[in-house]
Chains A and B, each alone.
Chain A
Amino acid sequence: NAGVTQTPKFRVLKTGQSMTLLCAQDMNHEYMYWYRQDPGMGLRLIHYSVGEGTTAKGEVPDGYNVSRLKKQNFLLGLESAAPSQTSVYFCASSYWASGSSGELFFGEGSRLTVL
């Protein structure tokens, strides 16, 4: 089992460029999440999805868009990258709503640098 797979693992963008991060899970989980991790800030939720075709805003959604067209995939898009979006991005999935009784399964992270 691959679990949660994120691509790409590393990316360097120039300010104003756009890109998409892909998250794929093979555990048939309903819930998927995108977090960003910055030094001293812990993980902060960007967007999440409670099922195929649904998305919702998290704590820090501005500047990002997401789509969940297939249950196994959750895409995170940056429309116009800014240096403040330099971060490590983590995708996670869970069978139940996070915390209800289930754990989150995380990908290995995607390190994005915006110049």
Chain B
Amino acid sequence: SQQGEEDPQALSIQEGENATMNCSYKTSINNLQWYRQNSGRGLVHLILIRSNEREKHSGRLRVTLDTSKKSSSLLITASRAADTASYFCATDQTGANNLFFGTGTRLTVIP
């Protein structure tokens, strides 16, 4: 499979805590994206990090990329109940013409 793997599969935290989820992939990439999916809804793009970048921020989101380890992490700081959703990483693999999605991390933020 060319899919990435997210870790953990499920994460439950208290509101206000930070949430960290990880993504590992197998091949060289041009960039990596993170998406969010609320239950029963479509995916929404959160952030894109290019292969030559190591860290990127967007609001309460911080993404890191380690191409030597073929891994990325998404940190959500000061989580809110509204952050409850599934989060997917997607890799733009070199030579491919589409994104390969991971299996997702289901985040539950308890008020």
Binding site for B on A (CB under 8 A): 4, 33, 35, 40-45, 48, 50, 56, 58-59, 90, 92, 97-101, 103-109
**Contact flags (1/0) for B89-111 with A, using CB distance below 8 Å?**
01110001111111110000000
Beyond the given pairs A43-B88, A98-B98, 16 more chain A to chain B contacts, judged by CB atoms under 8 angstroms and listed by A's residue number, are A42-B102, A44-B3, A44-B101, A45-B99, A48-B98, A50-B97, A90-B43, A99-B30, A99-B92, A99-B96, A99-B99, A100-B92, A103-B45, A104-B35, A104-B90, A108-B42
Question: B3 near A98 (CB under 8 angstroms)?
Answer: no
Alpha-carbon gap, A108 to B103, bound state (A): 18
Q: Is the interface of B mostly helix, strand, loop or mixed?
A: strand
Question: B98 near A45 (CB under 8 angstroms)?
Answer: yes
Question: B101 near A99 (CB under 8 angstroms)?
Answer: no
Q: A42-B104, A103-B48 are in contact. Are A98 and B99 (CB under 8 A)?
A: yes
The residues of B that contact A98 with a CB separation of less than 8 Å are 92, 97-99
Q: A33-B98, A43-B101, A98-B98 are in contact. Are A106 and B44 (CB under 8 A)?
A: yes
Alpha-carbon gap, A44 to B3, bound state (A): 8
